[in-house]
Amino acid sequence: MVLANFNGAGIGFGFGVGCGFGVGWGFGGMPVNILGLGVGGGCGVGLGLGWGFGTAFGSKYRSSRVTFQGMEFDKKDHSDGASFKELSKSTQEVAQHKSKKDCWFVINGRVLNVTKFLEEHPGGEEVLIESAGKDATKDFEVIGHSKAAQNLLRKYQVGVLQGYTFKDEDSKEVPSKESKKKEMSAFVIKNDGIPKYAAFAEFFVPLLVAGSFFCYRYLSRATQITY
Ligand code: HEM
């Protein structure tokens, strides 16, 4: 288990003094974050309960292995000597090529375009299409492909998985031109970007609540004075 920090849009519940800020527990950025401390602009009546939208930040425990679409991240000691850096948020280059007409996947850090190999594959095209757009390292290894099959990988290589480093013995086999291949990211493992509507809500909802409260107070006083 490891402790990982996170932050994201949050809803905070807590105690506020007058109309101010509420501090309490909030829900953190999805999908992997759980609970964290939430701080948000809130509205309270006198010394009462306050609530509001804000930013939740805190720490969560999770398994040291994060698996997403068959690929493990954040493992410092990768079994084949490779290390993964945190992947780019924006690009999902390999994941975009997942059809029969455009079929890519990753095996041991190599980004492969196997579109032309589909019909030739002795194991059938279906298994390859199922792995399209993903990391197929485990599937490839489970089958126990021959050395000849492993050597074929380079024929279809179009790039290197972003952040992947080949270990020494591998790079002896693979000349330096490999490192010059285009780096690509395969998957987005988390996207902490706060959607526009959430940012909008974060700012305006507390304002709206506070405004409504003052309007209500103002109108009820005005009604009392009239009577
Ligand atoms: C570019 C990637 C791949 C290449 C070059 C390749 C190549 C081969 C070759 C040459 C064989 C014949 C047996 C051998 O020589 O080992 C084979 C068999 C097979 N491959 Fe692949 N393969 C690739 C990817 C995959 C993937 C990703 C899967 C699974 C998802 C897969 C599943 C199979 C299966 C099920 C067989 C049949 C094994 C058997 O009949 O015992 N292959 N492949």
ipTM of the complex model: 0.89
Cα–ligand 1 centroid distance for 9 (angstroms): 45
Answer whether 4's CB lies under 8 Å from 188's CB: no
CA–CA distance, 7 with 60 (Å, rounded to integer): 10
Protein residue whose Cα sits closest to atom 36 of ligand 1: 123
Q: What is the pLDDT of residues 185-213, one digit of tens each?
A: 554 333 344 455 666 666 677 788 888 88
Protein residue whose Cα sits closest to atom 11 of ligand 1: 122
- Architecture of the structural domain at 83-184: Roll (3.10)
Cα–ligand 1 centroid distance for 62 (angstroms): 34
Answer whether 7's CB lies under 8 Å from 56's CB: yes
Answer whether 87's CB lies under 8 Å from 191's CB: no
- Regarding the beta carbon of 131 and ligand 1, being less than 6 Å apart is answered yes
Q: What is the pLDDT along the chain (227 residues), one digit of tens a residue?
A: 434 444 455 555 555 555 555 555 444 444 444 444 555 555 555 554 555 555 555 554 444 333 333 444 333 333 333 333 333 322 368 888 989 999 999 998 888 999 999 999 999 999 999 999 889 999 999 999 999 999 999 899 888 887 777 664 444 444 445 545 666 655 433 334 445 566 666 667 778 888 888 888 888 877 766 65
Q: What is the 3-state secondary structure (H, E, C) of the chain?
A: CEEEEEEEEEEEEEEEECCCEEEEEEECCCCCCCEEEEEEECCCCCEEEEEEEEEEEEEEEECCCEEECCEEECCCCCCCCCCCCCCCCCCCCHHHCECCCCEEEEECCEEEECHHHCCCCCCCHHHHHHHCCCECHHHHHHHCCCHHHHHHHHHHEEEEECCCCCCHHHHHHCCHHHHHCCEECCCCCCCCCCCHHHHHHHHHHHHHHHHHHHHHHHHHHHHHHHC
- Regarding the beta carbon of 128 and ligand 1, being less than 6 Å apart is answered yes
Contacting residues for 150 by C-beta, under 8 A, at least 6 apart: none
Answer whether 24's CB lies under 8 Å from 38's CB: yes
Answer whether 186's CB lies under 8 Å from 111's CB: yes
In the prediction, which pLDDT does 217 show? 81
The residue extents of the domains of the chain are 2-62+193-226, 83-184
- Regarding the beta carbon of 141 and ligand 1, being less than 6 Å apart is answered no
Mutate to test the pocket of ligand 1, among 110, 121, 135 (most ligand atoms within 8 A of CB): 121
Protein residue whose Cα sits closest to atom 23 of ligand 1: 140
